[in-house]
Structure 1
Amino acid sequence: MSRSTRRIAGVALAGACVAALAAPALAAPTAGSSTASAPGKTQFDIQLLSFNDFHGNLEAPSGSGGRITIDHFYTDVDDIDGDGNRTEQINFVNAGGVEYLATELARARKGHPYSLTVAAGDIVGASPLLSAAFHDEPTIESMNKLGLDVTSVGNHEFDEGYKELQRLADGGCIDDGAGQNNQDSCPDAVFGGADFDMLAANVVETSSGKTILPAYTVKKFNGAKIGFIGMTLEGTPSIVTASGVAGLTFKDEAETANALVPVLKAQGVNAIVVLLHEGAAPTKSGQSYDWACQHGGSISGALVDINANLDPAIDMVVSGHTHQPYVCTLPDPAGKPRLVTSASSFGRLYTDTTLTYDRRTSDIVRPTTASSANHIVERTVAKDEAQTALIARYKTLVSTIANKVIGQVAGSVVSRTANAAGESPLGDLIADAQLADPSTTPAGGTAPVVSFMNAGGIRSDLVENSAGNVTYEAAFTVQPFNNYLVSLTLTGQQVIDVLNQQFINASGAPGRPYVLATSAGLTYTHNRVSVSNVEINGVAVNPAATYRVVTNNFLADGGDGFPAFRGGTDRYFGGLDIDAFSNYLEAHSPYTAPPLDRVTYTP
C-alpha cells in the first residue's frame, strides 16, 4: 500500500493576477464594453461584484485563513522512484485584507458605469478583536467606505441577538461600560449604522410575523430595475446561541424567495438576484479556487437542493456560509441554467459577474450573455487609504486590550488541527481551561468534573508574537464569540448520548464525525459510529449516575447538533469563555500541550 505525503508550497504572485476562467456555459461578450453599455441600446451590461463571509477581517488574515489555493496536483503519481510516496503539491498565494479588497473592487468598477456591490452574509460575527471589541461597528464603517450596496444577513449576524443586528443596520450606541468585558461601543460617541441595505427575508418575529429587516430591495439605474432578495439559512437556530434567535422564526429559503417573486413582478421587477447565506462545496477538497465548475469540477450541498426549488424567474444566486469558492450554473426547475457563485471567505476573493439587461423584457438575458469569475484579492496592490486610516484608528483604540501579555506556549504554536481520533492540542487546552474556571461553581455547589468544547468555536491556532508572547488578541482570535460558560447536571446516559451525537447527523442516522474537545479525565473509544469505554477519572461512566459538566452556552442550548445537552438540569451561568481561556493560560505559562490520549479511534 502506498503512502501519501503532503508538501505545501507558497507561491508569490509578483505583480500579476491569476487568471480566473468563466464557467464554460457562460461565454459572453466583453463585460462593460462601449457597445454593450451605451445608453439607449436595447441591451446593456450590469456589473455585479460580490463576496461573502467577511467576518470582520479588516486586517489581512494570517495562516491558512489568509491563503488561496491556486494549484493542486500530484507528483510521482506512478511511483517511479519506488519510495511508495505519491506527493501532493498544493500551491497557494496570500490573500485578503479590506485595504486590498477595497482597492481591487475600485479597480474592477472602472469602465463599468452600471455596477453594484453585494454580499451574502456573515459580514460580521466571529470577528477578530479589532472589530469585535467595538461590537463590529468598525466593519460596518469599513463596508460603507468599501461601497457595499446590499447584503443578506447570515447566521453570525445573530451572535449578539437580532436587536443588535438592527442597531448595526440603523445606528446608535450601546451603554456597555466603555470597555467592560473588553468591548466598547461608539468610542467616538456616535455610530451611524450601515449605508447599505441589510436583508432578512426569511427571518420574522414569531409574535408579529413581520421580518426583522427588509425582505428585499430594488436597485434602479439606466431604466433597469434589479430586485435583491436576502436570506440566511433556515437552519440558523441550530448553529447560533439560543438567546440570539429567541422569539424568531426562520423560514424555508426557497419558499420565502418564491413568495416574493410575484411581489417584485407587480412592481415591474423581472430581474431578480437572491443573496443567500447557504451554500455548497466542491466535490473534491483542496482544489484550486477556480476548480469547481470551471476546470472540470462540480459542487454539492444544500444550495444545490435549494436552487432546484427556486422559481425560474430568479436569475442568479450569490451564496455563502460554506467558505468555498465556486462559479457554477445549475438547472432551475424549468431546466434553464442559472448562475450560482461563492467567493470563499475573509475577503480573499471577490466575484465579478456581468449581467446583460434587456429593456424589452425588463429582465436579465440568461444565461448565454452572462460571464462570471472569482478573482484573488492580492496583497501586491496598493492599499486603500480610507481603509488604512480606519484600521489605524481602531488599532490605537484597542491596543491596551490587544497587547496585554497573557503567557507563553512551548513551541510558539498550539494547533487546532485534530488527529485521526478528532482530538487537538488546542481543543484540550480550551476544555481544560473551562473545567478549571471557578466561575461555573456556585457558592456551596458542586464543581464540574468534565467539560466539552465545540470544534467549530475554535477559530484559529494559538500563536505567539515575534517577542515570544501570547497576547489577549491572539487568545481572542481563537475564541471570538464571547460565549458564557454554563455548568449543568447530566446523567451518565446523557453524557454517553452527547458523545454518540458526535457521529449522528440531523436525521438521527450515522453521517458525521464532529468530535468535541473534552477535558482531561474523560476518556473513551469510538469507531466513528458510536462510543465505548467511556470513563471519567478512570471510572466507567454509570448511566444512572449524575455528573456536573461545563460547556459554553451555545452547546448547552444544543448547538451544532447536540440536543442531549438540552436535557441538563440545574444550569448555572459563569463568566466568559475567553476570560477562562486567558486566565488559565496565565496560570499555566509557559504552557506545554499534553499527549493526545483522551480520545481513541478504533476502525
Structure 2
Amino acid sequence: MFKSSRILLALSVIFLTGSASSASADASNVEVKIIAFNDLHGHLEAPRLSLFVPAANSVGTYVPAGGAAYLASAIKSLKQANPNHAVVSAGDMIGASPLVSALFLDEPTIEAVNAFGIDFNAVGNHEFDKGWRELLRMQNGGCAKFTQREPCALNKQFPGANFGFLAANTFKADGQTLFPATGIKSFGSGTQQVKIGFIGLTLKNTPHIVTPAGVAGLSFADEAGTANALVPQLKAQGADAIVVVIHEGGVTNGSSESSCPSLTGAIVPILERLAPAIDVVVSGHTHRSYICDYGKRNPAKPFLLTSAGQYGTVITDINLTIDPRTHKVVSKSADNVIVQGESFVNNAGVTIKPSADYPRFGKDRDVDAIVTRYADAAAALTNRMVGRLTISVSRRSAISGESPLGNLIADAQLAATQSAEHGGAQIALMNPGGIRADLHVPNRGGEITYGQIFSVQPFGNNLVVKSFSGTQLHRVLEQQFKRQSNTDDGPRILFPSAGFTYSYDLQKPAGSRVSAMRLHGVPIVDKAIYRVTINSYLANGGDQFSLFNKGEHISGGAIDVDALEAYLRSHSPMTPPATNRITRID
C-alpha cells in the first residue's frame, strides 16, 4: 500500500539459535536458501524507481532497480549459490499492474514468474481485484471469461501458474480453503534430508480493501490463529523448519538495528501471537524493505522477519542451517539484495545509473522475451497521446487530505456523467486507494500518454451514479474517519469534484466531524436528493464505505480511465486543480 521511489535498504541480519562454531563446523548440518520477494504488482518492465544505498564515502547514492528480466536473473544467481533452495512470493504478484500486464489480465506476469521458477505465492489482497474465480484461472489456466476484457488475447493456451498459490485463512462457503493452506519442500536425502513447511496467509482485512464482489462468498480468518493451528500438522509431516509467508506487513524508520525497534503496523500484533516454533516470517503489503531478528524485540518470538519492498526492486536472500538429527534450525541469516536494473532519467533530469559497488544482474533472456512480446503488443495503446499538462500532477495529499491528482480525477468523472443521458451527476467522489501513480510530464505543456493514465488508474472500475439525500451524503463523509483497528492508516479522505466543498474537524466526536457542506456555494439540504458519481469499487462498499451501498442506483457509466482520457483530451493543455475544496479545521 505504501509507495516510495526512494527506499533505504535495511542492513543484513545474521543471528544464531545455537553455537556459531558448532553450526558452521558440523558437516551433518544442511544449508537451505529461501529466496523471497513481494508486491510485484505486474511490474514487468523496469519501473523507473531508484533505491538509496550506502557508499564508501558515507554520502550514498541512488541506483536504478527493478524489471522482471533482472529479477529473474537475480533469482537464478541466488539459486546457483545453493542447490537446496526455495523461492516464495508474499502476495500481490498481480493486480494494480501497469498496462503491459493489466491489458492482458495479468497473464504476462504469470508467464514471466513461471520462468522465474518459484515454489509458492501467498495470495494477497490485489490478487482478488478481478474476483476469486479469475484468480482460480490464474492458478489453473484456461480462457474462461470472468471480466470485461477478453482472456488469452495473445496466448491462446494460457497455462496458468506452475507454482502453488497458498491461502490458509481464505475459506469458501463450504468451509474449504480457496487454495491449499500449506506446502512442503524437501532437500537432501537419507539421514541428510530436511523438510521446510510453508504456510501462506492473506491479510484478514482483505474484504475491506478490495471490491466486495471480488470476495463474495469468501471469509478470511485470523492470521496468527490459522498459522498456529497448522504448525502441529506440518511438524507431523516431518517439517524441520516452518516459514510463514504472509501478505501483511509493517513500517520501520530505517534503523540499522536488527531488532527493528521502530517496527509498527498490522504485522506486529500478528507476530506477537505467532507460535515460537515458526522460524521465518516473510511479509509484504506495505511495500517496505526490512529484516528483523524479532527475538531481540521479544525473546519469546525468536523468528526472522523479512520484507523485500516492491515491484521486484529488492529480493531477500534467507539462509537457514538445519540439523537433521535434532530437526532444529541452528542458525538463520538474511540480506536484502538490490535488483539493479537499467539506467533512466528521473523527473529532475538526473540520470540514475547502476553502481559497480553492488551486484549486477543481466537480463534473463526467457523472461525478457515474454516481456518484449507483450510490451510490443501493447505499444500502440501505451504510447497514444491523450492530452497535455502544464505541470506534473501529484497524488500526494495536502493538509486537507486532498491531492491535485485526486481532484483532477474527480472532475473527470463528474464531466463523464453530468449529462442527463449518463446520470445527470452533480458531485463526484474519488477514493485515494484507486490512484496508483503520479502523472509526470517532461516539461511544461508536456504530453501525457494512455500508458501513464492507465498506471494511475489500472483497476478498470466503471463509473456509477447513485442518489443520496443530504443526510446520507453527510454520513458517507463521516465514514472517512472510521478506524477499524489501531493499525489502520487513518482517515481515507475522498477527493471531491469542483463545486462541492465542506469542512471537517477531527477534534469533534465521531458522527459530527463534517460541516458546512455546499454545492456551488449553496448549503447541502438534509432532505434534498443529490446525484453522486463514484466508481464501482466504492459503489459496492469498498474501502469500508458501506453507506455507498445505500444510495439508489441511477446509471452506469464509462470505465474510469476512459473518463480521464476524455477529460484530458477536451481540456488540454490543462493546469492541475488546486486543493481548496476541503477545509480541515483542526
Per the TM superposition, whether the score is higher than 0.5 is yes
Pick from 182, 188, 197 the counterpart of residue 164 of structure 2.
197
Structure 1 residues 353 and 210: alpha-carbon distance in aligned structure 2, compared to 1, 3 A threshold: same
Q: Retained in 2: the 8 A contact 1:148–1:196? A: yes
Counterpart of 2:467 in structure 1: which amino acid? Answer: T
Q: Retained in 1: the 8 A contact 2:10–2:290? A: no
Structure 1 residues 400 and 352: alpha-carbon distance in aligned structure 2, compared to 1, 3 A threshold: same
Query: What is the CA distance between 1:405 and its match in structure 2?
Result: 1.6
Q: Give the match for residue 303 of structure 1.
A: 267
Rounded Cα–Cα distance in structure 1 between residues aligned with 2:393 and 2:550? 33
Matched, 1:23 2:13: yes
Pick from 453, 456, 460 the counterpart of residue 433 of structure 2.
456
Matched, 1:408 2:404: no
Structure 1 residues 510 and 189: alpha-carbon distance in aligned structure 2, compared to 1, 3 A threshold: closer
Q: Retained in 2: the 8 A contact 1:442–1:572? A: no
Rounded Cα–Cα distance in structure 2 between residues aligned with 1:26 and 1:419? 46
Q: Retained in 2: the 8 A contact 1:328–1:341? A: yes
Query: What is the CA distance between 1:29 and its match in structure 2?
Result: 9.7
Query: What is the CA distance between 1:91 and its match in structure 2?
Result: 5.5
Query: What is the CA distance between 1:276 and its match in structure 2?
Result: 0.4
Query: What is the CA distance between 1:102 and its match in structure 2?
Result: 1.7
Pick from 526, 532, 544 the counterpart of residue 504 of structure 2.
526
Rounded Cα–Cα distance in structure 2 between residues aligned with 1:471 and 1:458? 16
Matched, 1:216 2:182: yes
Rounded Cα–Cα distance in structure 2 between residues aligned with 1:197 and 1:479? 29
What RMSD, in angstroms, separates the aligned Cα atoms of the two structures? Answer: 3.1
Q: Retained in 2: the 8 A contact 1:423–1:596? A: yes
Matched, 1:395 2:348: no
Structure 1 residues 426 and 264: alpha-carbon distance in aligned structure 2, compared to 1, 3 A threshold: same
Out of 547-556 and 525-534, give the one that drifted further.
525-534
Query: What is the CA distance between 1:543 and its match in structure 2?
Result: 2.2
Q: Give the match for residue 325 of structure 1.
A: 289
Query: What is the CA distance between 1:105 and its match in structure 2?
Result: 2.0
Q: Retained in 2: the 8 A contact 1:120–1:153? A: yes
Structure 1 residues 516 and 20: alpha-carbon distance in aligned structure 2, compared to 1, 3 A threshold: closer
SS of 2:304 mapped into structure 1: strand
Structure 1 residues 28 and 108: alpha-carbon distance in aligned structure 2, compared to 1, 3 A threshold: farther
Q: Give the match for residue 415 of structure 2.
A: 436
Q: Retained in 2: the 8 A contact 1:201–1:229? A: yes
SS of 1:260 mapped into structure 2: helix
List aligned pairs for 1:113-192, cutoff 5 A: 113-175=83-145, 185-192=152-159
Matched, 1:471 2:449: yes
Rounded Cα–Cα distance in structure 1 between residues aligned with 2:220 and 2:419? 35
Out of 51-60 and 562-571, give the one that drifted further.
562-571
Rounded Cα–Cα distance in structure 1 between residues aligned with 2:506 and 2:314? 35
SS of 1:469 mapped into structure 2: strand
User: 5+ residue gaps in structure 1?
Assistant: 1-7, 12-17, 76-88
Matched, 1:61 2:47: yes
Query: What is the CA distance between 1:353 and its match in structure 2?
Result: 0.9
Structure 1 residues 446 and 406: alpha-carbon distance in aligned structure 2, compared to 1, 3 A threshold: closer
Matched, 1:584 2:567: yes
Pick from 375, 380, 384 the counterpart of residue 337 of structure 2.
375
Counterpart of 1:437 in structure 2: which amino acid? Answer: A
TM-score scaled by length of structure 2: 0.87
Q: Retained in 1: the 8 A contact 2:196–2:240? A: yes
Query: What is the CA distance between 1:30 and its match in structure 2?
Result: 10
Structure 1 residues 508 and 343: alpha-carbon distance in aligned structure 2, compared to 1, 3 A threshold: closer
Q: Retained in 1: the 8 A contact 2:407–2:496? A: yes
Structure 1 residues 175 and 24: alpha-carbon distance in aligned structure 2, compared to 1, 3 A threshold: closer
User: 5+ residue gaps in structure 2?
Assistant: 342-353, 355-359, 508-512
Rounded Cα–Cα distance in structure 1 between residues aligned with 2:91 and 2:414? 34
Q: Retained in 1: the 8 A contact 2:9–2:289? A: no
Out of 184-193 and 241-250, give the one that drifted further.
184-193
Rounded Cα–Cα distance in structure 2 between residues aligned with 1:330 and 1:216? 23
Q: Retained in 2: the 8 A contact 1:28–1:371? A: no
Pick from 47, 52, 77 the counterpart of residue 38 of structure 2.
52
1:239-278 deviations in whole A, cap 9, x for unaligned?
0001100111111111211222222222222421111001
Out of 119-128 and 525-534, give the one that drifted further.
525-534
